[in-house]
Structures are given as structure tokens and as C-alpha cells.
Amino acid sequence: MSAKTEAALLVVAERLLAHVKSHPTQTLHDIAHNLATTRSLLDSRMALAVSTREELCSALVDIERGTFESAKVSRRTGAEPRAKSAWIFSGQGAQVLGMGRGLAEQWPAFRGALDQACAVLDRHLERPLRAILWSTPESADAALLDRTAYTQPALFAFGWALAALWRSWGVEPDFVMGHSVGELTAACVAGLFSLEDAGA
């Protein structure tokens, strides 16, 4: 949750509690997804680590009561210094069949960026990259994922799409780095060259 001020953040928490109580069939997953994708990221923020709707309601009640000491509640205001973050992109050996499928099904930002990367990279491949990434085990396409000609484009496309997903959530890295093909992914994500240039 986020708001412009800490006082406004408490109002957001109260409204969320009322919403959860008045929508008993809405899943915790749907609530979290809506909070992550439909609200702006403002300076005063609060995160709740919960596993069930009941835990969410309990944490929100704690917030209403001013009980911020709960281990389930983490607060941050824009005035606090932000910890620096780094994104590290992996090299060959990190590939696995099906990587990114669940993210693509759930997150449009990931799916769109993966589509972009595959469109650029497919021009240089004999088989479509997505067919290799999401092939069935023991298939001929599955075996291609461990060949450098497909492994490296697959890891690049996955890293590019993952960066787009993080950015859609308002997360920006202070540093990027990578190993092997991950160095190229990091350089592209940092804007040193375009996606088109990366795929050339």
C-alpha cells in the first residue's frame, strides 16, 4: 500500500480492510495483484507479509489500532534513504524448460517484453524461441534449450522481460551486472544499446 503521507496511508489501510470484509470471495492473490498493478507508488508505503485473508485482516486491524510493532507490518516513508539495489543477470547454465511461462500468463508487462525480445531474436534462429522455452520435456525442441545458439537468446529474453516486470512495479536498479550473456542483458537493460542492437 502507498499514499502521499503517513496519515493518508492509514486511510488506505482502513479502506482496504473494509474492502476485504465486503468482498469475502476475493482471493488474497487477487487483492495483492490489484494493489500491485492498479495503484500508484507514492512516498509513504506499507507492506504486509501475510499468507491468508484472515492474516491480512488481522494485520489491518493492528494498523487501525496503531500497532506497527507487528512483525507482519513493514513501513517506509519517502524521507528515509532508499537502500541501493543491483540486478544480476545469469549466464549459461541457468536455463530451465518452462522458464517465464507462469510470469507471462500472470503479468502483462513480462509477457509484452518477452514478446518484444522473441520477435527480435527469432529473426536469427531456425526455431521460434518461445517454442524452445516452453517445449515439453523429452521433445526435440527441449534438447535445443541446452545448445548455446538457443540458451543465450533464451536467457537474454528472460532477463529482459524480468527487468520490464520489475520496472512495471516501480523498481529501478542502481547497478546492473551479469555473467556471460548476462553481461549483454545488463548492458541492454541499462540502455547502453537497444533491444534491436542486442538481437543483431
Residue 71: its pLDDT value, please? Answer: 43
In a domain? residue 29: yes
Q: What is the CATH number of the domain that holds 137?
A: 3.40.366.10
Q: How many domains does the chain have?
A: 2
Residue 44: its pLDDT value, please? Answer: 81
Name the residue among 56, 90, 74, 86 with its Cα closest to residue 9. 74
The residue range of the domain holding 30 is 2-76
Taking only the tens of pLDDT, the chain with its 200 residues reads 888 888 888 888 899 999 999 999 999 888 988 888 887 778 788 888 888 999 899 888 888 887 765 545 555 655 556 678 999 999 999 999 999 999 999 999 999 999 999 999 999 999 999 999 999 999 999 999 999 999 999 999 999 999 999 999 888 999 999 999 999 999 999 999 999 998 87
In a domain? residue 13: yes
Backbone angles phi, psi at 16, to 5 degrees: -65, -40
Last residue of a domain, one of 13, 48, 76: 76
In a domain? residue 81: no
In a domain? residue 27: yes
CA 2 vs CA 12, 65, 140: distances in Å: 8, 18, 48
Residue 77: its pLDDT value, please? Answer: 58
Measured CA to CA, the distance from residue 13 to residue 4 in angstroms comes to 13
Last residue of a domain, one of 27, 46, 76: 76
Contact status, residue 105 vs residue 183, Cβ threshold 8 Å: no
Looking at the structure, tell me whether residues 69 and 92 fall in a common domain: no
Looking at the structure, tell me whether residues 108 and 39 fall in a common domain: no
Measured CA to CA, the distance from residue 28 to residue 104 in angstroms comes to 20
Looking at the structure, tell me whether residues 63 and 149 fall in a common domain: no
Residue 98: its pLDDT value, please? Answer: 95
Residue 196: its pLDDT value, please? Answer: 92
Looking at the structure, tell me whether residues 92 and 70 fall in a common domain: no
Looking at the structure, tell me whether residues 133 and 166 fall in a common domain: yes
In a domain? residue 173: yes
Last residue of a domain, one of 76, 110, 125: 76
Looking at the structure, tell me whether residues 68 and 97 fall in a common domain: no
